Copies of this chain bind each other. A is one copy, B any other.
Amino acid sequence: MTEDEIIASIKRQLKIRQKTVVVGPGDDAAVVSYNSKEYLILTTDCVVEDVHFSRKDTPLSLIARKAIAVNLSDIAAMGGLPLYALVSVGLPKGPTSKDISQIIKGLQYITDRFSFDIVGGNLTKSDKLFIDVSLVGKVEKKYLKLRSGANPGDLIFVTGRLGGSQIKKHMKFTPRIEEARKIIKTVPVSAMMDISDGLSTDLIRLAKAGGTGFKIYLDKIPVSKDAIKISKTREEVISHALNDGEDYELVFTVDMSLKDKVPDRINSLPLTCIGKITKEERYIGVNSDGKEILIHPYGYSHF
């Protein structure tokens, strides 16, 4: 079974019973009732040794920072702000006090940077290191953004530059918490999600969530310097930008009539229009010579 098949099977069988659950499994995060103006956002994500990182070339501080940052990216994707984190660490036998200091350093960096609290955690023995984080955030009801919500004709934007994150960025990215909120406050966004498994995979998920398709112009995809550095041809660069994943940028859609309201940059981060949502449920990439190709979800899948 593929990752998406497993998740679909779990979703189908686990029925939600409480009316306070506004968004259950299937988006970047779950959304539940909180107060008259805000929702709570709940999300969890995990980094595992030799799957997401190697301890040989990565200090523990960066591993701990990433374990939380991937969750912040999910909160950002919903338009929210982080409140409380729970950190569960699986640690091989015999951790030194230096190991523990390094982990704390990484956690402190990210909690200071985004002003939230680690309120609890758990420590267990494990052959391979893993750090599993659950994050509780909040979002004003009027600012909540979902994967679903894009309409045919909406323009598709991405933040930043994609591809090649395996070189460096995947351990040191900045979750787009602040940028997401500025975007939402500047222009009405119809759908939003973060790009964690690759633009190809994640944009197909966004299109499916809305029962739509898309047409993107491959030459318009903003590519990172590292994607260029590791590629021999222009096609390779675009393939990295589409499929590498772990960009932790945002993809969002905006009604075509509002195109001019979308700024070129938020803070120093470029916002780039790469195509549009279509009624037809097909996932199309347009080459520089105008030729159309089918986009497949070649991004990261665990199984």
Complex Cα spacing A149 to B302, Å: 46
CB-based contact A16/B90 at 8 Å: no
Chain B: minimal CB distance from A11 (Å): 9
**Distance, CA A16 to CA B117, complexed state (A):** 6
Are A14 and B86 in contact (CB-based, < 8 A)? Answer: no
Interface residues of chain A: helix, strand, loop or mixed (majority): mixed
Tell me whether A95 and B1 are in contact in the complex, defined as CB-CB below 8 angstroms, given that A117-B24, A125-B303 are known contacts. yes
Verify if A111 is at the interface (C-beta below 8 Å from B). Answer: yes
A76–B128 Cα distance when bound, in Å, is 31
* A117-B18, A125-B302 known; A90-B130 Cβ under 8 A: yes
In the complex, which residues of chain B have a beta carbon less than 8 angstroms from the beta carbon of A87? 44
Asked whether, in the complex, the Cβ of A134 is within 8 Å of the Cβ of B86, the reply is: yes
Closest 10 CB pairs of A and B: A134-B134, A30-B119, A44-B86, A30-B120, A132-B132, A125-B302, A44-B88, A13-B104, A88-B132, A46-B88
Q: Which residues of A does B touch, CB under 8 Å?
A: 1, 3, 6-7, 9-10, 13-14, 16-18, 20-21, 24-25, 29-30, 32, 35, 42-46, 48, 50-52, 83-84, 86-88, 90-91, 93-97, 100, 103-104, 107-108, 111, 115-128, 130, 132, 134, 136, 302-303
Given contacts A52-B124, A86-B134, 16 further A-B contacts (CB under 8 A): A1-B97, A3-B123, A6-B95, A14-B108, A14-B111, A18-B83, A18-B84, A24-B119, A30-B119, A43-B86, A43-B120, A44-B121, A46-B90, A46-B122, A46-B132, A51-B124
